[in-house]
A and B are shown apart, each in its own frame.
Chain A
């Protein structure tokens, strides 16, 4: 009864002009036509205590709602003749343009924020794009690319204070910033940058779509500060006016332009990456700057200055062929500037991470009154004393130790890949079937990485429903097998040929899928191969050097087998006869074959000409003959050997998917011809690298050129001089032109485009020493002094006899 009394009191006040008035049916009919929305709360005919609470909340929320053009009224169903009263209980019904767009139950408007958020959201649903699928997100991103920036919110609880904040912001920046929201954490998590930080209420990401798509994405970054209205408001405001990640200042700009821009951004709270590009480095610096600021645009802006221009804004600090980067902390942080020479995105990022980490650490070390009261800070510090570095910086260890699949494979999964025991191992190696045995050790990351490749090869067999010849011995499970085989390093792989005397042939190649599978195929064939069937032709290793002997006579066969026995360790030998000879000859397109004894080299480039043979010494000469053609792809398998030759390298970068493929092929043809010329090959090694996306060649070319596009990427690498010269051929050069260019490079007449880096890889993380920690703890022992506890020895007294005992001591150390 008290609640009803209060309600009556409230109705009387409302009727006297307060913000939530009692309205008539007629007034309601007019109000619901509002284009900015109208809400009505129904007072039911029957007594209802919940309505009082809802009314009070609506009273508080009405001022905010009115700012957005939304009014609320009360419809008393005891008086009203509206049909709504018959169909609804105590509810807030929301109308726009005469149509009901939503309804809220009392439990959805229990607080002012909840009421504001839910009402505005329902009335303005078009201002907040729901993200309910990947397509929603992609569609929104594409729609906004180059036009508007996007705020994406993960809202844990609809109607929460945070939800209301997002709704209000969306209303405020309507038409200027796109707002989207999601409530499905799994979905949002999968779309946003990895490892997002989710707060109590949700999370916010900013997508800088006004700069367009960078590598297929609008730059996207999480707002990592507390989700407070004032902080978000500042960010949203900046988003409206900021449409560039990198401010470029060329020669025509005054230095003051740069300083003004930098000053403004610093005042706005941004940090500045100032790039000064040396000779020929502008493209590359732009690329790095874009990458950096696409990642850190929430806290930083980039300024790019062309250092080639005399009296540039950056002064004369720039060195030839280098990029200077200065990270400038904003005024509030008061952090010092940091300069570095940089070549890659990663280096800049690393420095930035270091700088911000240092800042964080300094901030963490500053005493916090709240922490000292609760002692929480001390506890945290105790949990993580300085010294022990637990960050994994070994890429192989990282990838194998964080892979569930590999972890299962070496610890738990005994089904996928057959594991041999001491008994089955003996059976396999003494059997007659072709077998491959990989020895692994679980503590060795490299061996687990090899196991992963090996397992993929094995899967290839099982997918084809072929019996896999692959087996594995884990040396921690069966150490006696490995001890017997004298294996102490891992991985190791051995082949046992079919029906052959069971000699173990050890794999000596590079641990790569291609090299391993080729060896497996090779050893799977009988030895020496006396008859070649179509099936074997298919499995003939394509990229392995192999001496193929087409034999016609008995003596030819004997000579070839003899050579195979003699040189078999250097290269595989394959002997074919009769019909098989024709297959091979046709497959290898040997026009000069006369049906007699013949030698062919099966390899990547068939660099030796096929020749006939009549004796063992002919075969010997063929094997020892240097390759005719020395134009090779630089691969994992050969790069050490190539670089060991200590000659300059000419590398053509080939991208078969690029538009200039014809030109590239023409250049390849030229270089291939040159590779047969001993005069050229005595001076430099001619080679090529794959330039397709994600390849090593792409990376190397990127480092050499700063991703500068050219249709004929060709470089001269002189490891002795640490220099790289990029060729500047506009059209396909002739042999003479390339020869001239090589000679000029050799004579130092071509300008260096890139100098090999001295700081070539990221240093390992620092180590630590428990002795130092013990010193700090005071548990470090002084030589010859007993440990603290030992100084007071326990004296045992007998209850009856009062006898004292001494503990036994070990004998003293004595001379041998």
Chain B
């Protein structure tokens, strides 16, 4: 036996032994990174950006040849339905992100979709270009053409995986950002006779003079109907639930107005129509007589050439179809995991998403986090976490969470030594904060008071569902009172079938603020941070448990909450009530007069601000004139000026 043979034999033996070994026992760390992100779609790129900015060791694996490859194909009719609102009349960039639904967050102002297209609903190709620019301009560490498989978690708590070339990678933490990209293909009887949205022709001539049944009622279904309705004889659409209009539900995943042409042709009596039914209940059959497709309900055959004549003679589907198209959405693709990884799906309506907890971590696999649309189980049908304009903020939340867990970097915050300065900051956030606006009811701004409620720490866009774990998640202690600011619609304003345009739908007076219907800020004050049990027991529809004090800023048609009396004054009253402080501002001459005639001074005369200057201010000619118009009984030193 020569050396070569010996080596060869040994090699085979080792390989066999290796193959028999439990891979989770491995401890080697080739190609190691602290974080491995799978997928260079918008979710993956967004979390990569934050990691890059924080100078963390990360890598993004992308199976395609560039970023955002999902959008090379989808939506198949190539029109995005996220708005690209280029003009708001405002220069506030944070505010403008409230109305730019396609851009990712970054410091580079050239990387805004509004600068890529003038079209309100831009073509998908533009988004692909944008995502690739985002990746390259920000120099993100993306390894393209890398299809990851056999991802598993080892006993040493590291993850390992292979690419299509057999190269092994190891990571301490995973961030799965593969989106929800696997077409949903439920196996009902005769499903093979149908065709999927993913394979559908986009040539309208292919639908000329055809009768079409579309299964599903999401935006892809309506988008398809919209595209072909000029060619078809008739379009019927079937889904489990009634159509939900996004303007009524305030959920952007429901039917958007841009796609709702079929509602017109249905209710304006032009042959098209919708009906309710479950795919699992049907049998799709091809007639031997005319070669068309018929839906056979169990026990009520309508199929020409069938064995019986069904009892129902007015069945809505009795005329049959030339095509049946599945537009049943997409599922999370579990195929990248090694069989040892048990990643369950979220339950009860969120089956298409992986099961995760509120720190975006797989419930079944610690250390494996999710970013992007696959985190939408947390706010499915409630907020925008399934869409770029929502998950760009949840990705930021994830990053902040990881920063504290792994590097002890607390959640970014602003400290206010003087509560008078807190109130304007709150109003700034109320009026510009994009994360809390897009992720309404999901992300909260947080005010953590010090023990005697004389100072406060302000955190932006913290997951409301983690409020009870605030110190553990954020790295900020909560020694006493806390307040959360949430953007909410009226609790009985949103929902399928709701008439959101009813009369008297808007409140204008602060007296009625708690009855506001449109999106408005709500402040929840707790004298002490609640625990998890209290959170779980919160009333339905409530974002947070019933607080010790609550305050609503009355809704505003302009969505700008800057009314001096209706908004700003009311916030001060609330903060004064909950902290017990007198947060009025005084003029310097008033403070001086009080300092020399009284035993103590009001808060507004004795505080200092961040710059070290006194909290009071002197008159200008203009303010002196206005001040002298004040009612004399309110304050000292007025009468002397008259």
Contacts and interface: CB of A to CB of B under 8 A. Distances in A.
Interface in A597-656: 634-636, 639-640, 643, 651
A764 B577 CA distance: 10
Interface in B590-642: 590-602, 609-624, 626-627, 629-630, 632-641
A697 B538 CA distance: 57
Contact of A395 (B416, B427, B538, B627): B627
Contacts of B377: 810-811
Contacts of A252: none
Contacts of A506: 611
A808 interface: yes
Interface string B245-289: 000000000000000000000000000000111100100000000
Given A394-B584, A447-B424, A489-B416, A800 B565 contact: no
A390 B573 CA distance: 9
B125 interface: no
Contact of A762 (B92, B297, B316, B636): B636
Contact of B582 (A399, A636, A764, A773): A764
A46 interface: no
B374 to A, nearest CB: 13
A700 interface: yes
Contacts of A492: 611
Interface stretch (B60-68, B169-177, B180-188, B542-550): B542-550
B640 A346 contact: no
Interface string B407-450: 00000001010101101110110011000000000000000000
Nearest to A808: B349
A513 B636 contact: no
A810 B380 contact: yes
Interface string A419-451: 001000000000000000000011111110110
A806 B624 CA distance: 63
A478 interface: yes
A646 to B, nearest CB: 13
B90 interface: yes
Interface stretch (B191-199, B203-211, B490-498): B490-498
B424 to A, nearest CB: 4
B394 to A, nearest CB: 14
A758 interface: yes
A193 to B, nearest CB: 12
B342 interface: no
Interface stretch (B37-45, B116-124, B529-537): B529-537
A814 interface: yes
A345 interface: yes
B323 interface: no
Nearest to A514: B618
A455 B381 CA distance: 50
Interface stretch (B24-32, B221-229, B356-364, B477-485): B356-364
Contact of A639 (B379, B552, B592): B592
Contact of B552 (A346, A770, A786): A770
B509 to A, nearest CB: 8
B456 to A, nearest CB: 11
B327 interface: no
Given A476-B428, A756-B599, A810-B382, A452 B623 contact: yes
Interface string B12-30: 0000000000000000000
A488 B541 contact: no
Contacts of A387: 511
Nearest to A442: B562
A355 B118 CA distance: 64
B570 interface: yes
B633 A346 contact: yes
Contacts of A794: 496-497
B423 A443 contact: yes
B572 interface: yes
B570 A388 contact: yes
A813 B535 CA distance: 9
Contact of B635 (A395, A476, A515, A812): A395
Contacts of B542: 781
Contact of A787 (B428, B514, B541, B589): B541
B63 to A, nearest CB: 28
B585 A394 contact: yes
A787 B514 CA distance: 15
Interface residue tally of chain B, by bracket? 35 or more
B623 A399 contact: yes
Interface residue tally of chain A, by bracket? 35 or more
Contacts of B513: 388, 770
B276 A762 contact: no
Contact of A808 (B350, B355, B378, B624): B350
Contact of B623 (A396, A475, A798, A806): A396
Interface string B296-322: 010000000000000000011100000
B428 A443 contact: yes
A816 B550 contact: no
Interface stretch (B46-54, B132-140, B465-473): B465-473
A750 interface: no
B380 A808 contact: yes
Contacts of A507: 611, 613
A717 B599 CA distance: 12
A450 B424 contact: no
A509 interface: yes
Nearest to B598: A760
B256 to A, nearest CB: 18
Contact of A398 (B469, B589, B592, B630): B630
Contact of A488 (B91, B414, B548, B570): B414
Contacts of B378: 810-811
Contacts of A769: 549-551, 574, 577
B596 A453 contact: no
Given A388-B570, A762-B633, A816-B357, A441 B511 contact: no
B618 A811 contact: no
A447 B420 CA distance: 11
A190 B589 CA distance: 29
Contact of B618 (A488, A634, A636, A766): A636
Contact of A399 (B497, B630, B637): B630
Interface stretch (A206-214, A401-409, A659-667): A401-409
A807 B585 contact: no
B586 interface: yes
A636 B605 CA distance: 11
B357 A790 contact: no
B294 to A, nearest CB: 14
A764 B573 CA distance: 9
B278 A390 contact: no
B610 A488 contact: yes
A405 to B, nearest CB: 5
A334 to B, nearest CB: 25
Interface in A772-816: 773-774, 780-787, 789-790, 794, 796-801, 803, 805-816
Leading 7 A-B pairs by shortest Cβ distance: A808-B349, A760-B598, A767-B577, A512-B618, A798-B276, A396-B585, A781-B539
Given A394-B569, A696-B592, A814-B358, 20 more contacts: A388-B511, A395-B584, A395-B586, A399-B626, A406-B622, A421-B91, A443-B427, A443-B428, A449-B619, A479-B93, A513-B618, A643-B595, A760-B597, A780-B546, A783-B545, A799-B276, A808-B381, A810-B381, A813-B532, A813-B535
27 contacts: A346-B638, A406-B622, A449-B585, A449-B617, A477-B92, A479-B432, A508-B611, A510-B614, A510-B616, A512-B588, A636-B616, A699-B636, A699-B637, A700-B593, A757-B597, A760-B598, A760-B599, A764-B584, A770-B513, A780-B546, A782-B539, A785-B539, A786-B540, A787-B492, A794-B496, A796-B241, A805-B240
Interface of B: 90-94, 240-242, 275-278, 281, 297, 315-317, 346-350, 355-359, 361, 363, 377-382, 414, 416, 418, 420-421, 423-425, 427-428, 431-432, 465-466, 469, 472-473, 491-492, 496-497, 509-511, 513-514, 532, 534-542, 545-552, 562, 564-566, 568-570, 572-574, 576-578, 582-602, 609-624, 626-627, 629-630, 632-641
